[in-house]
Structure 1
Amino acid sequence: MPLVLYRKYRPQTFSEVIGQEHIVQTLTNAISRDMISHAYLFAGPRGSGKTTIARLLAKAVNCQNRKKGEHEPCNKCTSCLEINDGRAIDLMEIDAASHRGIDEIRELRDGVRFAPAKSNYKVFILDEAHQLSKDAFNALLKMLEEPPSHAV
């Protein structure tokens, strides 16, 4: 099955991202210095690269070939390839538009407690988070206030 254009040509490294220089600079500095925060909030209009940059962050922090002081994912190691193919077990992408209830966030909160299986970090990307219910937001806030060190 052919890929749609925006997936086929999605940036695979930070240097390929166009129009988000300040975001890329901030993230690459944090990655290079191993100063990864437990949470990042990306906001902007549709198509501005929020999910793409979140996936790049996930690849960079879990890249097995990235050397100290570097920030680009190699796109050749097992971790990078699994993220590219959408089969990484330590990366969870949740569509909050269709999973917006408190039960889904509680399930996410339970999953955060477990250490990553194969990667440095367990990364959770919550897409369309603004569509969560009020109770789900409160459950998410509790998780963000007491994050485990292995989760982003």
Structure 2
Amino acid sequence: MNLYNKYRSQKFDEVVGQEHIVTVLKNAIIYDKVSHAYLFSGPRGTGKTTLARLLAKSLNCQDRKKNNYEPCNVCASCKEITQGFSMDIIEIDAASNRGINEIRSLRDKIHFVSSGNKYKIFIIDEVHMLTPEAFNALLKTLEEPPKNVIFILATTELHKVPETIISRTQSFNFTLHNLDNIVLQLEKIAT
């Protein structure tokens, strides 16, 4: 197991930095006001993928208590998501799968029935790498999202994402961690 996966936050309260984003996502979960599409942008290593997976896990947690935002990390759904085996959390690396055929395949998967989870969630990493044709196909899906489907787009290069995509998402700008937070996290890992 890679170190970044071994020490990746498994609860919102373990996330280092990005407090404003964590607060908004926690409230969206508690008040059941989750958007159909999110766009996480910012430098590498700032928590975009971690928060995407945490959001997916919390929304599909089978034992999450009402008015709570934390996933239990014990139920079958949480374990599947943590291990990367969930059929309802589909992660796509747009740097490698950037064409229209990949987005068409994604659109086909949207209509498959969930395997028992509340949401089917598509995490598209490095979304700025999609071709113009792929963006157009994605746009149509974002305009008319099926119920209980959530998209989480992540990018390190926001300026390469078309405004038509950005305007259909709830966008968050991730910032670099300050040195004090990094030192505190490394001290926790070292002990």
Do the structures match in fold with TM over 0.5? yes
Q: Output aligned runs, 1:7-86, within 5 Å.
A: 7-86=5-84
**Structure 2 residues without counterparts, runs of 5 or longer:** 151-191
* Partner residue in 2 for 1:97: 95
* Partner residue in 1 for 2:186: none
Preserved CA contact (<8 Å) 1:116 1:150: no
More strand by share: 2
**Structure 1 residues without counterparts, runs of 5 or longer:** none
SS in 2 for 1:97: coil
Of residues 108, 111, 123, the one that matches 1:110 is: 108
Preserved CA contact (<8 Å) 1:79 1:119: yes
Of residues 119, 123, 127, the one that matches 2:125 is: 127
- Tell me by how many angstroms 1:67 deviates: 1.5
* Deviations 1:86-125, CA, capped at 9 Å, x for gaps: 1001110000000000000011011112231120000100
Identity %: 62
Aligned pair count reads 150
- What TM-score comes out, normalization by structure 2 length? 0.77
Aligned-CA RMSD value? 0.7
- What TM-score comes out, normalization by structure 1 length? 0.97
Distance 1:148 1:120 in 2: 13
Question: Greater RCO between the two (CA within 8 Å, min separation 6)?
Answer: 2
- Tell me by how many angstroms 1:44 deviates: 0.4
Distance 1:75 1:16 in 2: 13
Q: Which runs of 4+ in 1 moved over 6 A?
A: none
